[in-house]
Amino acid sequence: MNNTHTMASCFHPPPSMTTNRREEDSIILFSSSNSPDEYSSASSSSSSSPLPTPNRYSLTVANLSYTIHHVTILKSVTFTTQPSKLLAVVGPSGTGKSTLLKIISGRVSHKALDPSSTILINNGRISNNNQLRRLCGFVPQDDDLLPLLTVKETLMYSAKFSLRDSTAKEKEERVDTLLRDLGLVLVQDSFVGEGDEEDRGVSGGERKRVSIAVEMIRDPPILLLDEPTSGLDSRNSLQVVELLANMAKTKQRTVVFSIHQPSYRILDYISDYLILSRGSVIHFGNLEHLEDSIAKLGFQIPEQLNPIEFAMEIVDSLRDSNSSRSLLSSLSIENENDNTIARKQEFRSLFDVAEISFLCSRFCKIIYRTKQLFLARTMQAVVAGLGLGSVYTRLKRDEEGVAERLGLFAFSLSFLLSSTVEALPIYLRERRVLMKEASRGSYRISSYMIANTIAFVPFLFVVSLLFSIPVYWIVGLNPSVHAFSFFVLCVWLIILMASSLVLFLSAVAPDFISGNSLICTVLGAFFLFSGYFIPKEKIPKPWMFMYYVSLYRYPLESMLVNEYWSLRKECFSGGDMGCLMTGEDVLRKRGLDKDTRWINVGIMLAFFVFYRFLCWGMLLRKSCSKTTL
C-alpha cells in the first residue's frame, strides 16, 4: 500500500512543481512553430476571441449500448464530464472507443442505440443527431484535409463556411487567434500536404493541430477527438495533449479524447479516465481512484509502468471486479422531466450562393495547384491532338479516307472518354473531405456539386480546344467554320460526360482499384455497343438497351453528321460509271438519314447532368447513413 501511495505522489507532485513542469512543456509545445514570446501573447489574447464564448456545457452519458449485426460494441457505458476537464477514453484496440465518440458526436443514428441509452448535455436530454453535431466538435483519427491548401487557407475556408454571420474582419481575427493559440503561425503559409515523401507538407503534429483548429473555428463547447496522438512521436503527442488541456482550462471547454496508451508526462494533463474493455466500463475516475482499485485487487504497480499501462495488463481482473457497477447511481442525472435542449429550427434551401462561391474559389485553387491534373490534362490534349494529326495528315476525300475518318473519330472518342480516369484518385481524396465537412454542416452537397461543375467546365473547355485545334486542321476535316465549332462543342461535351461518369463512379467505388476496374468495365461496354463494332441490327435484343445508353454512340453519330452533312452531294468514290459514293451515301450506310446533331447535343447534356445528379444522390445517401465521417 505504501508503494501505491508513493506512485500517486509521483504522478501528482506539489502544485508548484506541476506549474513549473507545465510552463516548461508550454515552451516545448510552441517552440516547434512559434517563439515563447508568441506563446505568451497568444495566451493573453485567447480571451479576446471575436466570437461570443458559449456557456459551460457538461456531458453525461448513461446506459449507452450499441449493437450492430448482432455484435455488441458498447454495453451500458455511463460517465459524466465537466468543463475545463480532460477526459481520456482508454482501452485495448477494438473496445469501442472510436464508436463511443462517434455516437456522442452525432455520427451514428440514434435508432441503432438501445432505447435505454441516454445522452445529456447540461442535464438536458439530446433527442437527435443535429443537436449533437451543433454542440460537439469531432476530430476523427485521420486528418482528412486538402493537401494543396495552405494552413491559413484551410482555416479561412472553414471560417467562411462556419461563421456566416461574422464579418470578413471577424473571420480573419478568428483564424489569426487560432493560429497563435495552436502554434501554427510560422507554418500558416505552408501547404498542408499528405505527409508522404512526394507531398510532405507540414509535420504530423502540425497537421493534427490544423484538424483541431478546423473544428475549433466555430468554437464548439464540447470537443471530441478520436486518438489525436495516433501516428505521432512522444514529443508531438505531448504537445497535442497539452494543447487540449490549455484549451479546456482557458476557454472552459469540455474535452473528451481517446488514447491507446498515454505516457508518464501525458498523465499530468488528464483529469479523469474512462477505461473500456469489450465495450464495458471497467473504470471511471481519476488516477488515484484507479490506483486504489488496483491495490484492492492485490496488485502492485511496477516502477517501470504507469497506472494506465498496468491497467491494460490486468483488464480482465478489473472487469471481473465490476468496479463500475455503482457508477450510474453516483451520477446526478436529472432526466425525469426530459429536459430536452431546445432545438434550433433552420430552413436550408437547396442552393446557397455564398457556399457555391466559396467552393468555386477553393476548386480553382486546387485545379491550378494540382500539377497532375492541370499540366497532365493540358499536355495530354496537345500531344494527343498533334499525334493524331501527324498520323492522319491531310486525309483524302475517297473511300479510303472515309474509313480513316471513321477510325479517327472512334479512336478520339475512346481517348477522350478514358483520359478522365486519372481524376479518380483526386475525387476519392476529396470525397473524404466532403463527407467530413458536410457531416458538420459546413455546406450542402448540392452546393459542392454545383461549384464542382462551375469550376471544371471552363477548364475542360480549354482542354477540348487544345485537342481539337491541331487534330481538326492537320487532318483536314470539313473546312467549314461552323463544322469546326460544332466539333469543338462535341469534344467538350464528350469530356464533360466522361468527367460526370467518373465523378459518379468515384462516389460509388470504395477505393481506387475497384473504382478503376469499374470505370474500365463501363467504358468498355459503352464502346462495344456504340454501333462502331456491332451494327444496331446485329445487337441481341437483351443488350439493345446498351446501345441507347452508350456514351460513345451519340458523339460518334454527331461527328459523322458534322463531317458529311454539308458534303452530302460531294463524291467520295468515283469510277467509269460516275460517282459511286457521296457524303449522303456515307451517312445512310451508318443509318443517319437526318441531321440529328443538336438532338444528340441535348442527349449528351442530359447524360452530363444525369450522372452528376446520380453522384449527388449517392453522396447524399452516404452522408445520411448511420455513420458519417
- CATH number of the domain within which 277 lies: 3.40.50.300
Residues in the chain where the model's pLDDT stays below 70: 1-55, 195-200, 322-351, 372, 575-576, 624-629
Q: Does residue 560 lie within any of the structural domains? A: no
Grid cell for residue 454: 462551375
**Structure confidence at residue 173 (pLDDT):** 92
Domain termination residue (choose one: 314, 330, 346): 330
Concatenated DSSP letters of 549-568: H-TTHHHHHHHHHHHHGGGT
**Structural domain tally of the chain?**
2
Separation CA 162–CA 443 (nearest Å): 8
Separation CA 381–CA 461 (nearest Å): 11
- 483 plus 410 within the same structural domain: yes
482-508 burial by CB neighbour count: b if 16+ within 10 A, else e? ebbebbbbbbbbbbbbbbbbbbbbbbe
Q: Does residue 22 lie within any of the structural domains? A: yes
Q: Does residue 73 lie within any of the structural domains? A: yes
- 316 plus 361 within the same structural domain: no
Task: Write out the residue range of the structural domain in which residue 410 sits.
Answer: 355-528+608-623
Q: Which tens digit of pLDDT belongs to each residue from 575-623?
A: 667 788 888 888 888 888 889 899 999 999 999 999 999 999 998 888 7
Question: Could you tell me if 505 and 514 are in contact, meaning their C-beta atoms sit under 8 angstroms apart?
Answer: no
| Burial degree of 517 (CB within 10 A; 0-12, 13-18, 19+) | exposed
- 165 plus 87 within the same structural domain: yes
- 325 plus 434 within the same structural domain: no
Tell me, what amino acid is at 150? T
Q: Does residue 338 lie within any of the structural domains? A: no
Percent of the chain clearing pLDDT 70 (strictly above):
84
- 305 plus 387 within the same structural domain: no
- 168 plus 217 within the same structural domain: yes
**Structure confidence at residue 6 (pLDDT):** 41
HEC string for 149-206 = CEHHHHHHHHHHHHCCCCCHHHHHHHHHHHHHHCCCHHHCCCECCCCCCCCCCCCHHH
578-605 burial by CB neighbour count: b if 16+ within 10 A, else e? eeebbbbbbbeebebeeebbeebbebbe
Q: Does residue 572 lie within any of the structural domains? A: no
Instruction: Tell me which residue of 328, 131, 90, 141 sits closest to 222, measured CA to CA.
Output: 131
Q: Does residue 574 lie within any of the structural domains? A: no
Grid cell for residue 96: 469501442
Question: Could you tell me if 500 and 604 are in contact, meaning their C-beta atoms sit under 8 angstroms apart?
Answer: no
Q: Does residue 282 lie within any of the structural domains? A: yes
Question: Could you tell me if 129 and 109 are in contact, meaning their C-beta atoms sit under 8 angstroms apart?
Answer: yes
- 254 plus 123 within the same structural domain: yes
Instruction: Tell me which residue of 503, 431, 451 sits closest to 161, measured CA to CA.
Output: 451
- 374 plus 320 within the same structural domain: no
Grid cell for residue 204: 504530423
- 318 plus 390 within the same structural domain: no
- 298 plus 364 within the same structural domain: no
310-322 burial by CB neighbour count: b if 16+ within 10 A, else e? bbbebbeebbebe
pTM: 0.77
- 424 plus 494 within the same structural domain: yes
- 438 plus 316 within the same structural domain: no
Q: Does residue 64 lie within any of the structural domains? A: yes
**Structure confidence at residue 470 (pLDDT):** 93
